[in-house]
Every structure is written in structure tokens, then in C-alpha cells.
Amino acid sequence: MNVPNSLSNTCTPVGNVSVPPLVTDQKIERGGLAYAILPREVTTDERLKHVDIRVYAVLATCRKGSHVKIGMRLIARFACISLRNVGPSLTRLADCGYLKVVSHSFRHRSEYQLTYQRFNVEAKKPAVEGKTPERELLFCPRCHRRCLQLLRVGWCRSCSFGDRIRKVVREEIARIA
């Protein structure tokens, strides 16, 4: 089947060419999350522009608790906007009450606090006198044992160590054979 030239000229390859594909990978590498919670108030506020919502999404992605420490160039790169749009965007977010500037100094990364109440909730439970707080155990989805922490790959340290040992053994057998 032949596609008309007029149609093939308007079609783009898979994905949006204007957005660099590495932005998501860089956010995750720098300790950010792969997703963010955006409050409905922020996304539907008529005082904000679409650029402001993108900046808020970047801040929500890179947050630790309710605090974010990130530079303006990094915000511009992650939001795929120009650097000159970041400052006014942050000012509008602060004026609307969605963002609070904690510290700002020249040539240093600024620290912001997101005022959304879900970000401010402390995950720690109050400790009972005389008892040490117990850490909640997780289940490894691979070996189904209880463990304190899962690695980035999604399973426990013993499963990851077992994989490394198996890999070394396979390499040694291949080298000998």
C-alpha cells in the first residue's frame, strides 16, 4: 500500500521529536522519582500557565519529603523549557501559595518547599517509651523471604548476590570449556 506524500510528510516518527528522550533517565539517575503527584488545584488553577504546571511537576518529581533542592538550569532541562521561563514560573507558583522558597542565594542551588499537604505528612510513627521502633519487614517478590530493604532491581540483597555468583560461575565454566 502506498502512502500519499502529503500524509507521510506530516507524520513524525514514534514519540515527540522535540522532547529529548533522555530527560526521564536523568531524573531517575539524580535520585528523582519516575512519577509525581500533582494536586488538582495546581493543574486547574487559572492563574498559572502551562509552563508553571510543568515546573511544578519537575519539582514534585525531584522532591524528598516536601523539600526540593534543585537548580534553575536543571529545572529548565527537565521541563523542556528555556531558562528564562523558570524564574517567572517559580514566582507565580510562590505567589499562588503552591511553593515556598526556603533558601535562595547567588551561585547556589535554591531550596523550595512544596506546600501540598500530602508532601508534608511525616511517615514516622511516634516511638513508645521503653521500646525501640521496629522496622517494617518487606517481602522479596523473588524468593518470598522477609527483608528490611529491597534493592533498585526490586528484590533483596541475597537474590542479587546469588545472581552475581551464578554469573561468575558461568563465566568460569565457559572459560574452561
Share of the chain above pLDDT 90, in %: 14
Q: What is the pLDDT at residue 119?
A: 75
- How far apart are the C-alpha atoms of 95 and 72, rounded to whole Å? 18
| Domain final residue, candidates 93, 120, 147 | 120
Q: What is the pLDDT at residue 163?
A: 86
Outline where the chain has alpha helix (H): 5-10, 23-29, 40-44, 50-61, 72-79, 86-96, 117-120, 157-176
Q: Please, which pLDDT band fits residue 84 given cuts at 50, 70 and 90?
A: very high
Q: Please, which pLDDT band fits residue 157 given cuts at 50, 70 and 90?
A: confident
134 CA to centre of own chain: 28
Per mean pLDDT, which range of 2-11, 114-123, 127-136 is the poorest?
Answer: 2-11
Is 57 found in the same domain as 20?
yes
Q: What is the pLDDT at residue 129?
A: 58
Residue 156: domain span: 138-176
Q: Please, which pLDDT band fits residue 136 given cuts at 50, 70 and 90?
A: confident
**Contacting residues for 157 by C-beta, under 8 A, at least 6 apart:** 147, 149, 151
| 112 inside domain | yes
Is 77 found in the same domain as 34?
yes
CB 153 within 8 A of CB 160: yes
Read off the amino acid at residue 108. H
| 128 inside domain | no
Per mean pLDDT, which range of 32-36, 84-88, 112-116, 122-126 is the poorest?
Answer: 122-126
Question: Does the pLDDT of residue 99 top 80, yes or no?
Answer: yes
| 7 inside domain | no
Is 110 found in the same domain as 142?
no
Count of domains observed in the chain: 2
- How far apart are the C-alpha atoms of 17 and 142, rounded to whole Å? 38
- How far apart are the C-alpha atoms of 27 and 131, rounded to whole Å? 39
The kind and range of the H/E element at 69 are strand 67-70
Is 144 found in the same domain as 77?
no
Q: At what angle do helices 72-79 and 86-96 cross, to 10 degrees?
A: 90
Is 39 found in the same domain as 104?
yes
Does the reported pTM lie above 0.85? no
Q: What mean pLDDT comes out for the span 146-175?
A: 86
DSSP 142: T
What is the tens place of the pLDDT at every residue in 19-68? 454 444 444 445 556 677 888 888 888 999 999 999 998 888 888 888 88
Is 161 found in the same domain as 92?
no
- Average pLDDT, whole number, for the chain? 76
Q: Please, which pLDDT band fits residue 5 given cuts at 50, 70 and 90?
A: low
Is 102 found in the same domain as 74?
yes
Q: What mean pLDDT comes out for the span 156-176?
A: 88
Phi-psi region of 165 (alpha: psi -120 to 50; beta: other; left: phi over 0): alpha
Is 72 found in the same domain as 34?
yes
For residue 27, the domain's CATH number is: 1.10.10.10
Q: What is the pLDDT at residue 107?
A: 74
